[in-house]
Amino acid sequence: MKIALIGYGKMGHMIEQIAIARGHEIVCKIDVDNQDDFDSPAFASADVAIEFTNPTAAYSNYLRAFKHNVKVVSGSTGWMTDHKDDVEALTKDGKQTLFWASNFSIGVAIFAAVNKYLAKIMNQFPQYDVEMEETHHIHKLDAPSGTAITLAEDIVGLLDRKDAWKAGVTTWDDGHVDGSTDHKANELLVNSVRHDEVPGIHTITYNSEADQITISHSAHSRQGFALGAVLAAEYTANHTGLLTTTDLFSSLIP
């Protein structure tokens, strides 16, 4: 496939390495200093663009890619609050294609399936309260992470005693803490830690007076995310519309 990269930071570099190793061609690399290349022949020649930027730029990047009928794979989070309906309209009936996920890791997809299965079980045992903590590198400014939000929404959808999730505290390496742990009993608290160069840890804890049950996923590097993004790009070769990891990993996870 011919692949364009939108965002050429650490993730972009790793995606490039994996894509080339899998026999693909990188035809265009767009970062903050060459935005005009969105309208270049090289970008328009791409079969798919892989986008890892930030919440404020993501939706605009999708529109600029769709202008040239280039499919998009994106791991950017935070844009859905304002633009979910617009993206659904743009991708309806396969007019444009966006493969979006808060996390492309196969391991996280498996973890998400375990999370939902456990929540179904724990719905029968109201003596257990549940909360979540996510840890990422200090360069990640949004909190909670997109993956944590996805996991939290799955729990809220399956636990009758939780109606919503709530962002708790964010603890930084320099010792300062943002936010508050104040929350209502019907809210799932999601705390965050920003530490060193941690690629990502998500931990879900069910706690009662008698005992505690914890499940956790810890990424060793960004490699799993990058590989998943390239697999998603390959998936778009024969699929259109609004896609996600449920589609990609449907053969692996029921």
| Residues labelled catalytic | 136, 140
Instruction: Find the helix packing angle between 80-91 and 55-66, rounded to 10°.
Output: 10
Q: What is the largest CA-CA distance in the chain?
A: 64
Dist CA 222 CA 11 (whole Å):
7
Dist CA 194 CA 247 (whole Å):
31
- Burial annotation 16-36 (CB, 10 A radius, 16+ → b, else e): bebbeeeebebbbbbeeeeee
**Both structure tokens of 225:** 């995310």
Which amino acid is it at 54?
N
Using an 8 Å Cβ cutoff, are 243 and 98 in contact? yes
